[in-house]
């Protein structure tokens, strides 16, 4: 599965994680497959917010691992390439 992420961060590290807690996770969790497994999310495309779009390219992220509960999602990544 390819995961699409939009962020308001000005920049991100070469490797790190994104975390969505109960407030934000509940807004999109209904669109995720019910049976996510450890290798279900293998990559992601990250877009920067509108103010940074003019100076920053989208990034392709390799998802190293992710952790999901009923109320949260954490994705650990490293940058694969600039798009």
Nearest to 62 by CA among 76, 51, 83, 52: 76
- Chain mean position to CA 29: 13
DSSP 9: -
- Give me the pLDDT at residue 31, please: 86
The CATH number assigned to the domain with range 2-82 reads: 2.40.240
Note down pLDDT in tens along the chain; length 83 residues: 788 888 877 778 999 999 999 888 989 888 888 777 656 888 999 988 766 566 778 899 999 999 888 899 999 999 999 98
- Give me the pLDDT at residue 33, please: 82
- Give me the pLDDT at residue 32, please: 84
- Give me the pLDDT at residue 49, please: 79
pTM, to two decimals: 0.80
Q: What residues does each domain of the chain span?
A: 2-82
């Amino acid at each position: 599965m390819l995961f699409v992420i939009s962020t308001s961060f000005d920049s991100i590290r070469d490797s790190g994680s994104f975390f969505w807690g109960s407030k934000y996770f509940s807004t999109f969790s209904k669109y995720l497959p019910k049976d996510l497994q450890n290798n279900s999310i293998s990559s992601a495309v990250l877009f920067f917010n509108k103010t940074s779009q003019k100076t920053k390219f989208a990034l392709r992220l390799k998802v190293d691992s992710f952790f999901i509960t009923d109320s949260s999602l954490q994705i650990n990544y490293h940058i694969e390439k600039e798009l």
